[in-house]
Amino acid sequence: MSLSIDDNTVASIHYTLTNNEGETLDSSQGNDPLIYLHGAGNLIPGLEKELKGKSAGHSMQVKVAPEEGYGLVHDGLIDIVPKAAFQGVDTIEPGMAFEAQGEDGQSRRITVTAINGDDVTVDANHPLAGVELHFDVEIVEVRNATEEEIAHGHAH
């Protein structure tokens, strides 16, 4: 009997991620499969939960609600800042992404969502926050993790 995905196993998967409109957001097709350590928080919770107990050769479609994906959109992560805050940037346009340091000292990715005069609206939510995710997954391989992989919290 083949090994099933469980905590401390390493799984290799091919996947295609789409949104509700069917647009492809990400895919491993044409590349190496994604390899991850199950149970270490390396995948979004909703996908990891659905993969548990499956084995190599299994294909499935998984729908993940925002709460089990990249979270809901938090209004507190949307802010209006002056253009002057973007020192050294000549042109600022919606869709541009920047690294900014948050109040906690952590680096955050912010995306420009609108410009109104000298006011720039930025959003620090994950780009897929609030989005229902659809995964088409094929499990390629499942193996036991090594002690080193478990200690490091990721597959090698």
Whether residue 5 contacts residue 142, with contact meaning beta carbons closer than 8 Å, is answered with yes
pLDDT, mean of residues 133-140: 97
Per residue in 1-46, pLDDT (tens digit) is 689 999 999 999 999 999 999 999 999 999 999 999 999 999 999 9
Q: Which fold has domain 75-123?
A: Thrombin, subunit H (2.40.10)
Per residue in 59-115, pLDDT (tens digit) is 999 999 999 999 999 999 999 999 988 888 888 999 999 888 777 788 888 999 999
For 86-123, b where at least 16 C-beta lie within 10 A, e where not — what string? beeeeeeeeebeeebeeeeeeeeebbbeeeeeeebebb
- Residue 145: closest CA among 12, 48, 9: 9
The pTM assigned to this predicted structure is: 0.83
- Domain range list for the chain: 9-70+128-152, 75-123
Terminus-to-terminus CA distance in the chain, angstroms?
Answer: 25
Rg (CA), the chain: 19
* pLDDT computed for residue 121 by the predictor: 96
* pLDDT computed for residue 141 by the predictor: 96
Same fold, 9-70+128-152 and 75-123: no
Q: Which CATH architecture has domain 9-70+128-152?
A: Roll (3.10)
